[in-house]
Structure 1
Amino acid sequence: MTRKVALQLAILCALAASAVPSHALPGWLEGELSLATGIDYREGDYGEPTDSEILYLPFTASYLFDHFALTATPNDRLEVEVTLPWLRVDGPVVPDGSGGPADPETGDRLPSDARNGLGDVQVSASYLVFPPVESRLPAVELSGRVKLPTGSEKKALSTGEPAYTVQVDVFKSFGEWTPFASGGYRIVEKAPGYDLRDAGFASLGVVRRFTSRLSAGIFYDWWQSGSAGYGDAHELFPYASFQFNERWSVSPYAVIGLSPDATRWGLGMALRVWIPVRNAPLPPR
């Protein structure tokens, strides 16, 4: 969830990158293409008698439009994003794209052996409102996300039903520090064989920018249980972001579980490249 906020803060540091010749694109189409991949490994029992291991390899493409202002603020941005994941699950859980696994109905048993394949595709759109630099107001991001059930239900890599998420993020820089907060709600379609329910979530965190290319932060993540058989998930995410140049960055992070039904621990890394698509560089912000 809030890993996206942390990466979005890194994106803001790269918006002034030099433009790639775009052969007189229409103004509304100018922006930045971002391609990302990474690795996410997590381990925990998630309230089950035995441990489970989940390896997640996402492939993400996003586009951040420069000129899509729906308000009087000239810095507004629209971003669209698609993520196609590959995953490997070793244990009696089904990844659900939320703060915990999906809970099977009474009497149903999940496979406990290792299986792998494509997971559920995530499609999202976000609208970011950036107030003027001198304003005391925070930046606000409103987003909606749809989980498409593209993962194999037979392999227990998906519940086989879509889910819909709405979210709001707010953040404000104070010198080198940027505190942020997030909140949202996830609506799930009823999946045969699973006891799923709608759930809320929230995050609080702070980012410290040390240099123009190095930042680090930590945030606390809370997910309301999305299955009757599991409790709420509470986790900490320390992370860092290293920007090699105006185009490339890498963001290692860790996951520390704070509740029995959360991930016990995890490690991950995201690699991202930005490709400016503009007729000319953006003016200084």
Structure 2
Amino acid sequence: MALRPTLIAALLALGGVCTAHAEPALTVGNTLSFFQGKFGTNNNINIRYDATDIQYGDGNDWRVKLTVPYVSESGLPVGSTLSGNTVVGGGSSTQTHSASGLGDVWLAGHYKIFQGVGLTPSITPYAKIKFGTASSDNGLGTGKNDYELGVGLQQIIGNNWFPFANLGYRFVGNPTGQNLRNIAVYQLGASYAASQQNIFTLMYAAQQALVAGAPAPSDLIAAWNYNLTPNGSGFQVYVDKGLSHSSANFGVGIGGQIVF
């Protein structure tokens, strides 16, 4: 499944690559997304994702972010569950159901330990917690917490190019009756600042399969951020193309953020 709560939240930060704050600032954003595809099942599944992000930090060296989503889905096979980037269990069922409600809440912290110099990238370790707040009875989540540790690498080429990579390992909460694996996750891409206002990003995102033998989700994402103010307030749009049978066929989203 290409629904990527932490990835969608990260898109809000892409407009800040050229607008880091000298002093800590509060950022509030919201992203509306829609995904459609089979997600490794025999059914067409529609997922609408409304994520509110609250972030505090200087936009460069450190930041803490809380993501609170509302999820609405239709076509999910009975017995299936949304788990991070994957639909697990019940994939062969011909019966489907619809559900909506609070999704899994994410809390993430990033802290830069090395400022890149020359060809050496900046190094920013991170830690994330997914709280199992989504209803397991309705198939919106596993009801279990996930924990992720990783590192973000970012390079600056000239004044316009910002290649980056995020590499992490997720410890997955395993609900009763499932055999979910811990997984590696990663995103590779680059942002291009055409101007202080216009920033374009192309990113490849993938992870290991949660279930042994299942296809691993992978996606290609293109995003455009437009900064309305010098401190990074603005909006963004993105498109997502699934590259795996476990991913969505396509996804689209639009969001905005205000930096106080």
Return 122-131 or 156-165, whichever deviates more: 122-131
Q: 1:63 aligns with which of 53, 56, 60?
A: 56
Q: Do structure 1's residue 155 and structure 2's residue 138 form an aligned pair?
A: yes
Once the two structures are TM-superposed, the CA of residue 87 in structure 1 deviates from its matched residue by 0.4
Separation in 2 of the partners of 1:5 and 1:47? 25
Q: Check the 8 A contact 2:224/2:236 in 1, yes or no.
A: yes
Return 121-130 or 81-90, whichever deviates more: 121-130
Measured against aligned partners, the alpha-carbon deviations of 1:61-101 in whole angstroms (never above 9, x if no partner) come to 111058xxxxxxxxx7221111111000112242212x322
> Aligned residues: percent identity?
23
| SS of residue matched to 1:10 | helix
Separation in 2 of the partners of 1:140 and 1:2? 19
The structure whose Rg is larger is 1
| SS of residue matched to 2:245 | coil
Separation in 2 of the partners of 1:83 and 1:249? 18
Measured against aligned partners, the alpha-carbon deviations of 1:251-274 in whole angstroms (never above 9, x if no partner) come to 100110111111110001221111
Q: Do structure 1's residue 81 and structure 2's residue 65 form an aligned pair?
A: yes
TM-score by length of 2: 0.87
Once the two structures are TM-superposed, the CA of residue 7 in structure 1 deviates from its matched residue by 3.9
Where do 5+ consecutive residues of structure 1 fail to align? 18-29, 67-75, 276-285
Separation in 1 of the partners of 2:130 and 2:88? 14
How well do the aligned residues superpose, as a CA RMSD in angstroms? 2.4
Return 44-53 or 4-13, whichever deviates more: 4-13
Describe how 1:1-285 pairs up with structure 2 within 5 A: 1-3=6-8, 6-16=11-21, 31-65=24-58, 77-90=61-74, 91-92=76-77, 93-97=80-84, 99-103=85-89, 112-129=96-113, 131=115, 135-175=118-158, 176-228=160-212, 230-246=214-230, 247-275=232-260
CA distance 1:265–1:84, shift in 2 (3 Å): same
Separation in 2 of the partners of 1:50 and 1:6? 29
Separation in 1 of the partners of 2:37 and 2:245? 9
CA distance 1:158–1:167, shift in 2 (3 Å): same
Separation in 2 of the partners of 1:193 and 1:141? 36
CA distance 1:39–1:4, shift in 2 (3 Å): closer
| SS of residue matched to 1:143 | strand
Once the two structures are TM-superposed, the CA of residue 40 in structure 1 deviates from its matched residue by 1.2
Name the residue aligned to 2:3: none
Separation in 2 of the partners of 1:161 and 1:229? 22
Separation in 2 of the partners of 1:265 and 1:196? 25
Measured against aligned partners, the alpha-carbon deviations of 1:144-189 in whole angstroms (never above 9, x if no partner) come to 1111111112111111111111121111111211111121111112
Q: Check the 8 A contact 1:111/1:156 in 2, yes or no.
A: no
Give 1 or 2: higher strand fraction.
2
Where do 5+ consecutive residues of structure 2 fail to align? 1-5
